[in-house]
Amino acid sequence: MHELSLTQSLVEIAEEHARRAGATAIRAITLEVGALSGAIPAALEFAFDVCSKGTLAEGAVLTIRHVAGHGQCSACAAEASGHDLTVVCPVCGALAFELDAGLELRVVELEIA
């Protein structure tokens, strides 16, 4: 689904940065994908093969770093893993749980030649 347009953005961002640095090829891309970001890593990998054809990123190794969901409750101050997108605190049950990790969809770094 929308992984295709996310991957098109990934290739655009990578090419833009690589060109600006005078690179002739991109060898590797590191991407951070949060567990609750809504994007499926396998779909991103599949789309990457298609979207990178004919670009500086063709043949690059795509490494996806998984970021687990994590948050804190503003009612009981507990820190906990976040397993869904609700604001229900897994410890005290208040509707006050805010995620601070797990929503990432970020290009971290490139290895260029």
Partner 1 sequence: MCINCGCAPTGTASDRHPHDHPHGHGPAGRTLLVETDLLAKNDRLAAGNRALFRQAGVFVLNLVSSPGSGKTTLLERTLREQGGQLRFAVLEGDQQTSRDADRIAATGVPVRQINTGAGCHLDAHMVGHGVETFDLPRTDILMIENVGNLVCPAGFDLGEDHKVAVLSVTEGEDKPLKYPQMFRAATLLLINKTDLLPHLDFDVERCKGYARQVNPRIEILELSCRSGAGLSAWYAWLEAGVREKREASGVRSEERKS
**Contact residues for partner 1 (CB under 8 A)?**
1-2, 5-6, 9-10, 12-14, 17-18, 20-23, 27, 31, 38, 84-88, 95-96, 105-113
Please give the full DSSP string across the chain, using - where no structure is assigned. Answer: -THHHHHHHHHHHHHHHHHHTT-S-EEEEEEEEETTSS--HHHHHHHHHHHTTTSTTTTPEEEEEEE--EEEETTT--EEE--SS--B-TTT--B-EEEEES--EEEEEEEE-
Query: Considering beta carbons, is residue 18 or 67 the nearer one to partner 1?
Result: 18
CB of 79 to partner 1, least distance (A): 20
CB of 85 to partner 1, least distance (A): 4
Please tell me the distance from the alpha carbon of residue 102 to that of residue 113, in angstroms, as a whole number. 31
Query: Considering beta carbons, is residue 64 or 78 the nearer one to partner 1?
Result: 64
CB of 52 to partner 1, least distance (A): 14
CB of 101 to partner 1, least distance (A): 14
